[in-house]
Structure 1
Amino acid sequence: MGETSSSSMMPSSSPNLAHQLHVKLTSSNYLLWKTQFMPMIFACGLNQHIDGTTQIPTQFLDDTNTKSNPAYIVWLCEDQIVLSWIVASVSESILPQLVEATTAHAAWDKLVATYASGSRPYIRELKSQLHTLRHDNVSIESYVLKAKGIADKLATPAKIHQ
């Protein structure tokens, strides 16, 4: 029986989900961004690339590093697809934080550590938004809703966001 080629195990095409992400991650909308991003990852069956529940297959099948592991090639392809979705779904100001992330899990961990509720930069950002909030030309209802939204984000436990 012939050897299975790794190309037959590769995903034939990956959905381009970037156009479905109407909200790009900024320093102040992590929960909203995560709410739209996670269902897409789960629907594609690729959540293990961000939650770390699957061990990365070995790159080679033997100790001589001459025979590539088809499972690794599939994992790498899927992981790079998820990484590309993450990169495509963040604002330009967030992108520099992901430059050195070579896996989807590494990129995800950086975003969670920086923007999930409970992280110091996130809390500082929210406090700054609350401190600089102005009534200006918006209705009092809009002003109060915005203030309440910021206060609610400050009060939300970190584990909900991770």
Structure 2
Amino acid sequence: MLKSAIVLGSAVFCAVLVGTGILSLDDSSTHLESAQTLSVPTPSADIASTTTDTHVTAIPKASDGHFWANATVNSRAVRLLVDTGATVVALTPADAQRLGFGSSNLVYDREVSTANGKTMAAAINLTTVGIGQSTVHNVEAMVIKDGLTTSLLGMSYLGRLSRIEATRSSLILHP
């Protein structure tokens, strides 16, 4: 009887845990917001970012299994791969140039380790990075000289949100 109660209790706990999301990160400098109801749309395109209410932004999981964000960086559109393993927002030289960071102004004086090994990077500051309702000002970033095929949305942006939730079908950003 006791064994059945333990199994039942564990099943209820797991169901509640799955129902509230697989991952919820909280910025320790802010208090948790009250729970909000969110209906996450089925992704219709691999790179879509959709806003489902006035306070959160849902990024649907793409068919490749990744989360691709359509961001506005310094008033320009940039497609970023969400990467919680990246310490900062990491830009390709091509994206950096489109954002107004010319190669003659970049100083590649930082050695960084990437998935492709060590390379050099130039530290920059992004005035604004916005995805849906989640805009962050004064974001630390780096331009990666070699080996980066797509720009990355790293923790210098994500870590400044009040909360991030990952579900099976989307990543939910709370400003």
TM-score normalised per structure 1: 0.26
Higher helix proportion: 1
Which structure would you say has the larger Rg? 1
Which structure is richer in relative contact order (CA contacts within 8 A, separation 6 or more)? 2
Higher strand proportion: 2
